[in-house]
Amino acid sequence: MNSIILQIRKELKQNVDEKTKNNSSRFFKEEIKSYGVKTVLVTKIAKKHYENISGKDKPEIFALCEELLSSDYMEESFIAFKWSYYLRGQYEPEDFVILERWVGDYVNNWAKCDTLCNHTIGTFIDMYPQYIDSLRKWTASDNRWYRRAAAVTLILAARRGDFLDDVLEIADLLLTDEDDLVRKGYGWMLKEASREHQQEIFDYVMQNKKVMPRTALRYAIEKFPKDLRAKAMEK
């Protein structure tokens, strides 16, 4: 095993906070593996050790990320996803195969999904928007995390007002999804898009509210003025 991985695991074990450890599972319906280290410390550990590996080739760093991910610990996955995001200046189209596989192989709760997709995969899509076609395909996956990923990958772009047509198309594809976390994911995406496209998102909600699950609807309208929220919630 790589000495850097061993050192990271040693530091994580040295920084366990019992309160954090006891509270960490409250936010998840799934069983999770967690050391119980505060997020700010995990970020510091990620940055510190990235300085030691930043001179390595991208495939070597991706391999180290995968070694961390294979442990299934939340903190190690966050470090891996931080490192993959730090590589954003080196992303190439062929990297998508790796990132897509990570969703299927290593994402097993909403926090891992959102951390990987908001930043690493979201930035990749910004650079290579032709891969939005793959997000559309994810909406039909039997894996709930691919379906959630299809939406949350576009969160930061939607917040900037980008990819509106794609946001609405992915919302259409997920509109009646039966999974609560998928509904929350696309509702969140619509909410972020409403920052720059309030009228378009309001029109979309009004057009679809008879079939849109209430969970998704409530997320989508969260940034609307009070009067528009009231109209959207009318039955």
Q: What is the pTM of this model?
A: 0.93
Domain map of the chain by residue range?
Answer: 1-16+29-90, 104-235
The residue ranking higher by pLDDT, 126 or 25, is 126
The model's pLDDT over 96-144, given as tens digits with 9 standing for 90+, comes to 999 999 999 999 999 999 999 999 999 999 999 999 999 999 999 999 9
Q: Name the token pair of 185.
A: 């994911």
**Which 3 state secondary structure label does DSSP give 234?**
coil
Give the pLDDT confidence of 182-196 residue by residue, as tens digits.
Answer: 999 999 999 999 999
193 exposed, middle or buried (CB, 10 Å; 0-12, 13-18, 19+)? buried
Q: What is the 3-state secondary structure (H, E, C) of 124-169?
A: HHHHCHHHHHHHHHHCCCCCHHHHHHHHHCCHHHHHHCCCHHHHHH
pLDDT in tens, 31-84: 889 998 999 999 999 999 999 999 999 999 999 999 999 999 999 999 999 999
Query: In this structure, which topology does domain 104-235 adopt according to CATH?
Result: Leucine-rich Repeat Variant (1.25.10)
Three-class DSSP category at 73: strand
Task: Give me the chain's average pLDDT, please.
Answer: 95
Pick from 85, 76, 57, 105: nearest CA to 1: 76
Secondary-structure breakdown of the chain: helix, strand, coil percentages, each rounded to the nearest 5: 75, 0, 25
Confidence of residue 24 (pLDDT cuts 50, 70, 90): confident
